[in-house]
Structure 1
Amino acid sequence: MSSLRKVGNLRSVRGLQKVARLTRRSPRVDLSHPARSPLGSSVVKCVTYRKGVRQTAERDGDLVEAVAQVRKDDDGFVWLGLHEPTELEFAGIAELFGLHPLAVEDAVHAHQRPKVERYDQTLFAVFKTVCYVEHAELTATSEVVDTGEIMVFVGREFVITVRHGRHGSLGPLREQLESTPEQLAQGPAAVLHAIADHVVDDYLDVTEAVQADIDEVESEVFSSTGARTADPGRIYQLKRELLELKRAVVPLARPLQVLATQPIRVIAPEIQAYFRDVDDHLKRVTEQIAAFDELLNSILQAHLAQVTVAQNDATRKITAWAAIVAVPTMMCGIYGMNFDHMPELRWRFGYALVMGVIATACVVLYRGFRRNGWL
């Protein structure tokens, strides 16, 4: 309780006790699979940074004490990372940092569109993360793109990241930032930029992997046996997965424009220039997705055209053979009527003549159909 007495000005003691109990059982690890800590806590990491340098605390992960010290010294910030917290787990944290209830609800329940919202002194941003799902062979039911979410609360002295999904760990990003203290020294806004840049870079990686699948399908469709062996279900599956990727990428354009152009209290103007660079990368991804969608439409239309041509070829062959068979059928039908007074019935060479006429007519029809490409 000694640490709680040091922060009597931090809202209510009851909320701080919840946070204290939550953070003290968090491990000193940053796991991405499984993402939750072995002890069941949603807190993945809690670290204090001053002048871009990570601070070593007596008890790593003691959020209450870290926030109290940062607010007392008015220097540095706390980066708290969580994975799929429950309402109960997040309640004390929200009270400690004064987070808006609407933003807290979005962070806990997830399934949000990419967005940026401002609540007094706090900025709340939502990013959709994407991951390419490796598969030995693309089928009509293969999962190609898996999505998750990262919610980021940014204040003057804190960054809170809430991650949903089993991918998109921020551990490697945290290590990368710690290796460049001059970037971390710019404060929580620099962390927000790094997360946005990390998410968009993942978009680029996924689009490159999806392009390989599209190239594979395209090669199969335009092969010599494409009309018979190509599976249109694979094309439809790629279009569905591409739609999921599009839903994650395209809505992020507006939030990035807000971060890059509009004045925001917790983001310095020099940081906004970096958001413009991220926005340029996002536009590139958006253009690639639009091009992929058009290409898949063209591949699907080409495949349907190939199937139609193959069906027409089969129909013409059937028609040609039916016309050839119709000649002997007609002549045999005529001379099978068994009338007593039919010409050539009693003639010695009648049978040979009829067979010769049938054979000649069939040969002429066959050569005519072959010449015209029907056989």
Structure 2
Amino acid sequence: MTRPWHRLVNPSRAELEVAQAQFGLHPLILGDLGEHRQQPKFETFGDHLYLSIWDVDRGGVESATTDVDLALIWNGDVLLLIQRGDIDEIRDLDALLAGPGPVLVDSPITAAYRVLDAIVHDFVELAAQVEGDLDELEADVFDNRVHEDYQRIYRLRRRIGRIDRAATGLSEALRAARQEFEAATADRPKLRPYFHHLELDATGVAELSANEHASLDALVSSHESNVATRQNQDMRTISAYAALLAIPTVIGGLYGMNFKNLPLLRWEYGWVAVGVSIIVLDVVAYIVFRRRGWLGGAAENNGGEE
């Protein structure tokens, strides 16, 4: 059986013109394919259905990118797949469509489903992994014993932003194509629930990504608050130690002046009394600062209320 799909990877302008002549593509489709980084969308051009989405690199949550553009163009005869991006990140759709799957690839619409199902499934897994990272980061942000890594927050924010944009575009494109999918599966009613489930999954991923984005914004605010709190604590600690040093400095400065009637100045053991007074005042000041949490006392452990 002739396979119902045709695949092009990073095609040149000449290759696109050949595909246009071979499959009778609308000039507007050719114009879109000649541009890079198209926003995910769905359009109908005569008997051709055109779906443009962003694919996801499955290299893992740390390296996940959505820099691969994927266009699906199909009619009743063939599905044309056009992929653009880094060759190392491009999905092997030939192997995907030739391998086993939930539905048999015997027509352009089933081939389109297999491709979209694989992409949505990867987005679901990626969003779940990000959710786990977000939970760990939230625990670190609200743990006073952990100083959270701002670079980790930035990396997670960038990943969530990419997933959010790609999943939202995919969900909207599938929603726009709903009637066309229903018409394409009119003679195959058993296939229709698969597309409905696909749309629901894409919508769920988009909503989850949006919620993760909002949750991360709240965590960033908490992180900034933690940084400000630690800076205030540092300033309190510096000020407290400066006050402890100021006590002997002031007393030493007073007794260093050329006055004859200073207390204890003519007493043989006056320097001992002055030294003891300095120590006592510093100890009292240290205890007060410690209780207020300025030097790491009980108040700091309870949130530094003072």
Aligned counterpart, 2:49 = 123
CA contact (8 A) 1:128 1:248 kept: yes
Aligned counterpart, 1:369 = 289
Q: Offset at 1:307?
A: 2.4
How many angstroms apart in 1 are the aligned matches of 2:159 and 2:35? Answer: 23
CA contact (8 A) 1:117 1:125 kept: yes
How many angstroms apart in 2 are the aligned matches of 1:246 and 1:283? Answer: 11
Q: Which of the numbers 205, 218, 228 marks the counterpart of 1:308?
A: 228
Aligned counterpart, 1:35 = none
CA gap of 1:179–1:263, structure 2 versus 1, over 3 A, is closer
CA contact (8 A) 1:123 1:153 kept: yes
> What secondary structure does 1:48 align onto?
coil
> What secondary structure does 2:67 align onto?
strand
The question of 1:234 aligning with 2:157 is answered: no
The question of 1:171 aligning with 2:94 is answered: yes
Q: Offset at 1:231?
A: 2.1
Deviations for 1:221-277, whole angstroms, at most 9, x for unmatched residues? Answer: 4555422xx321221122122212222111222221222236876553735543221
The question of 1:276 aligning with 2:196 is answered: yes
Q: Which of the numbers 103, 115, 118 marks the counterpart of 1:195?
A: 115
- Counterpart of 1:252, as a letter, is L
CA contact (8 A) 1:253 1:279 kept: yes
How many angstroms apart in 2 are the aligned matches of 1:337 and 1:192? Answer: 93
CA gap of 1:254–1:201, structure 2 versus 1, over 3 A, is same
Q: Offset at 1:153?
A: 1.4
TM-score, reference length from structure 1: 0.69
How many angstroms apart in 2 are the aligned matches of 1:345 and 1:106? Answer: 93
CA contact (8 A) 1:197 1:278 kept: yes
Moved more, 285-294 or 296-305: 296-305
CA contact (8 A) 2:56 2:64 kept: no
Aligned counterpart, 2:211 = 291
Stretches of structure 2 lacking an aligned partner (at least 5 in a row): 296-306
> What secondary structure does 1:131 align onto?
coil
What pairs up with 1:207-218 in 2 under 5 angstroms? 207-218=127-138
The question of 1:104 aligning with 2:30 is answered: yes
The question of 1:206 aligning with 2:126 is answered: yes
CA contact (8 A) 1:257 1:276 kept: no
CA gap of 1:317–1:288, structure 2 versus 1, over 3 A, is same
Q: Offset at 1:305?
A: 2.6
> What secondary structure does 1:277 align onto?
helix
The question of 1:79 aligning with 2:5 is answered: yes
> What secondary structure does 2:177 align onto?
helix
CA gap of 1:160–1:262, structure 2 versus 1, over 3 A, is closer
The question of 1:323 aligning with 2:243 is answered: yes
CA gap of 1:277–1:356, structure 2 versus 1, over 3 A, is same
Moved more, 194-203 or 259-268: 259-268
Q: Which of the numbers 258, 265, 268 marks the counterpart of 1:345?
A: 265
Q: For this pair of structures, how many residues does the alignment match?
A: 290
- Counterpart of 1:48, as a letter, is T
- Counterpart of 1:370, as a letter, is R
Deviations for 1:49-68, whole angstroms, at most 9, x for unmatched residues? Answer: 5xxxxxxxxxxxxxxxxxxx
Percentage of identical aligned residues: 29
How many angstroms apart in 2 are the aligned matches of 1:90 and 1:171? Answer: 19
CA gap of 1:79–1:362, structure 2 versus 1, over 3 A, is closer
The question of 1:253 aligning with 2:179 is answered: no
CA contact (8 A) 1:122 1:155 kept: yes
How many angstroms apart in 1 are the aligned matches of 2:194 and 2:178? Answer: 8
Deviations for 1:6-39, whole angstroms, at most 9, x for unmatched residues? Answer: xxxxxxxxxxxxxxxxxxxxxxxxxxxxxxxxxx
CA contact (8 A) 2:103 2:114 kept: no
Q: Offset at 1:351?
A: 2.1
How many angstroms apart in 2 are the aligned matches of 1:156 and 1:342? Answer: 107
CA contact (8 A) 1:126 1:152 kept: yes
> What secondary structure does 2:134 align onto?
helix
> What secondary structure does 2:44 align onto?
strand
How many angstroms apart in 1 are the aligned matches of 2:157 and 2:149? Answer: 13
CA contact (8 A) 1:261 1:272 kept: no
TM-score, reference length from structure 2: 0.83
CA contact (8 A) 1:84 1:108 kept: no
